């Protein structure tokens, strides 16, 4: 594993909404650079920045028009180089967002591919010509017809403005399909490796990869997609051994086998991520407090991938409703206590650390649809436009949260009890304890049915028990399997560990205890015990 990932705490920046430095109403690279001291003060040391390449912006940058140039709204390539240097000067790392599966419909490659004559781009996209009229193909959203000089229809991913690049098919069943290992499909992989080289040479530290598991079509078990990414990883290992890859895959076992350092638990798929914070959320005081399905999934995924890479849990992202839509400020503190004491690298979505709200009723922006309300400008202070931009309000990328009590960074820094200060202290606590590193050992001590939630983190230096009670009543658990008489390291709203191994937590509280037993006892793997 790349060494810096062991202590990384990531912050996702949606660049058009973070900070506007030139009064055009849209965030930019210089704005991000101006806010690096804020990120440093917060304690995060790694950034994932959403797509910044030249784009048609039908899908907020996930429709790339030029992979080798940044979008003018953010600056130019030299501005990005300057930002990367500044990030490194602040002791941080930055991952760019790579979109390998499709381009914008007005990309020059696609225009060339549409010609009814052989060109270098003729087979760069997936063109269906004649043959049976099957309705569905795995990994293809649909086909576009009547758009080209050449006969046939072009496959697209997600939106119809995103023609699919050709990485081939796992199983070729029709004449127009190329095998995943054909020269035509291989050319697309080599082209993407060239793009990665370009930006790594400019100074980025790696990539978060959009829709990483869906490149090869009709690949039911992702076997061929895994082999494709293993080839990319081999290329990076030879030429850029420190380059980090994070996947939007949603299946850690497959993604880490493919060569990614980390995979996200996503808001869709089998991971039960939504049980944490959003759908009948465990961390709501009024929730059912049943996390058993999540724990069952996580345990299995952790055991299968242990030592191979990391499973990452985000506070949110640009594709889902904000944390504060379902959790109060106080409940969010417990959610962050969970995020910042679990294994894997934590990912904080910009604004979640101050409790920014999902803004209802907004008109869809750049393909955001219902996601638009999670992409509003960062709220820095009480001044004009929440200090996001000096542009006229009607020029802002998106309207601000209009609430009189909208949270701001400026106000929360002045309140030691704020969510922002709480998150800052939790990040500092994580950094201070080697047992909370992303790769340190982990085991759930409760099954997730009820409260409190208990789990153990340990390494060769220390052994910690984390106990969280998000409910509105006191919770008691038998923690004797951990230690008979531990010491209290961190507590929110009070906690106690009584004689006989009972852990007592008040409503809406959490605590971290240290095992003071011998080294031999610390390294034992605990059996699961149920919280009571």
HEC states along 376-426? Answer: CCCCCCCCHHHHCCCCCHHHCCCCCCCCCCCCCHHHHHCCCCCHHHHHHHH
For residues 169 and 179, the answer to whether their CB atoms sit within 8 Å is yes
Q: In this structure, is residue 282 part of a structural domain?
A: yes
Q: What's the structural domain count of the chain?
A: 2
Q: How far, in whole angstroms, is CA 57 from its chain's centroid?
A: 21
Residues 242 and 327 in one domain: yes
The answer, as to whether pTM is greater than 0.85, is: yes
For residue 272, being part of any structural domain is answered with yes
- What is the CATH classification number for the domain harbouring 65? 3.20.20.80
- Looking at the fold, whether 381 and 507 belong to one and the same domain comes out as no
**Domain residues for 501?**
441-522
Indicate whether 466 and 416 sit together in one domain: no
Instruction: State the CATH number of the domain containing residue 460.
Output: 2.60.40.1180
Does some domain include residue 261? yes
Tens-digit pLDDT string for the chain (532 aa): 789 999 999 999 999 999 999 999 999 999 999 999 999 999 999 999 999 999 999 999 999 999 999 999 999 999 999 999 999 999 999 999 999 999 999 999 999 999 999 999 999 999 999 766 677 899 999 999 999 999 999 999 999 999 999 999 999 999 999 999 999 999 999 999 999 999 999 999 999 999 999 999 999 999 999 999 999 999 999 999 999 999 999 999 999 999 999 999 988 878 999 999 999 999 999 988 999 999 999 999 999 999 999 999 999 999 999 999 999 999 999 999 999 999 999 999 999 999 999 999 999 999 999 999 999 999 999 999 999 999 999 999 999 999 999 999 999 999 999 999 999 999 999 999 999 999 999 999 999 999 999 999 999 999 999 999 999 999 998 888 888 778 899 999 987 777 678 889 999 999 999 998 744 344 444 433 333 3
The domain boundary, picked from 387, 412, 432, lies at: 432
What residues contact 130, with CB distance under 8 A and at least 6 apart? 152, 175, 176
Q: Is residue 527 part of a domain?
A: no
The H or E element spanning position 305 is helix 292-305
The two three-digit tokens of residue 93, written as one number: 């790392």
Domain match, 316 and 358 both: yes
Any idea what the Cα angle at residue 233 is, between residues 232 and 234, rounded to 5°? Answer: 90
Of the three residues 376, 407, 432, the one that is the final residue of a domain is: 432
């Amino acid at each position: 594993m790349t060494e810096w990932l062991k202590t990384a705490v990531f912050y996702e920046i949606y660049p058009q909404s973070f900070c506007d430095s030139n009064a055009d109403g849209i965030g930019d690279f210089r704005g991000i650079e101006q806010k690096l001291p804020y990120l440093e003060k917060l304690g995060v040391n790694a950034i994932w920045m959403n797509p910044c390449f030249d784009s048609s912006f039908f899908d907020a940058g996930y429709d790339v028009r030029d992979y080798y140039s940044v979008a003018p709204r953010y600056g130019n390539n030299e501005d990005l180089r300057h930002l990367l240097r500044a990030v490194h000067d602040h002791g941080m790392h930055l991952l760019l967002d790579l979109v390998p599966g499709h381009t914008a419909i007005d990309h020059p490659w696609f225009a060339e591919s549409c010609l009814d004559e052989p060109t270098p781009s003729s087979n760069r996209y997936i063109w269906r010509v004649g043959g049976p009229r099957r309705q569905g193909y795995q990994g293809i959203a649909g086909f576009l017809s009547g758009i080209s000089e050449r006969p046939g229809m072009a496959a697209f991913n997600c939106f119809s403005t995103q023609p699919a690049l050709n990485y081939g098919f796992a199983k070729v069943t029709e004449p127009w399909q190329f095998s995943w290992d054909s020269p035509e499909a291989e050319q697309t992989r080599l082209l993407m490796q060239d793009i990665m080289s370009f930006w790594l040479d400019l100074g980025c530290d790696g990539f978060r990869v959009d829709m990483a598991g869906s490149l090869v079509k009709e690949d039911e078990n992702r076997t061929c997609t895994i082999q494709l990414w293993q080839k990319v990883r081999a290329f990076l290992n030879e030429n850029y051994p420190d380059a980090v890859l994070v996947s939007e895959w949603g299946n850690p076992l497959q993604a880490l086998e493919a060569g990614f350092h980390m995979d996200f638990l996503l808001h869709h798929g089998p991971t039960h991520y939504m049980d944490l914070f959003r759908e009948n959320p465990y961390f709501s005081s009024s929730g059912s407090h049943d996390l058993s399905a999540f724990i069952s999934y996580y345990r299995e995924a952790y055991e299968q991938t242990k030592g191979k890479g990391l499973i990452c849990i985000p506070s949110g992202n640009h594709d889902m409703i904000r944390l504060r839509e379902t959790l109060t400020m106080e409940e969010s503190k417990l959610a962050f206590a969970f995020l910042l004491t679990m294994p894997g690298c934590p990912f904080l979505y910009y604004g979640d650390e101050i409790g920014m709200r999902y803004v209802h009723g907004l008109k869809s922006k750049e393909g955001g649809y219902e996601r638009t309300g999670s992409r509003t400008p960062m709220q820095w202070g009480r001044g004009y436009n929440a200090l996001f931009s000096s542009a006229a309000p009607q020029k802002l990328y998106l309207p601000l949260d209009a609430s009189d009590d909208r949270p701001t960074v400026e106000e929360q820094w002045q309140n030691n009890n704020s969510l922002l200060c709480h998150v800052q202290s939790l990040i500092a606590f994580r950094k201070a304890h080697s047992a909370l590193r992303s790769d340190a050992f982990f085991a759930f001590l409760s099954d997730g049915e009820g409260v409190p939630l208990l789990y153990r983190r340990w390494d060769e230096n220390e052994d910690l028990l984390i106990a969280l009670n998000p409910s509105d009543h006191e919770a008691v658990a038998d923690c004797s399997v951990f230690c008979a008489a531990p010491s209290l390291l961190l507590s929110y709203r009070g906690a106690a560990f009584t004689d006989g191994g009972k852990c007592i937590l008040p409503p809406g509280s959490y605590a971290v205890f240290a095992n003071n037993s011998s080294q031999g006892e610390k390294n034992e793997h605990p059996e699961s015990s149920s919280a009571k």
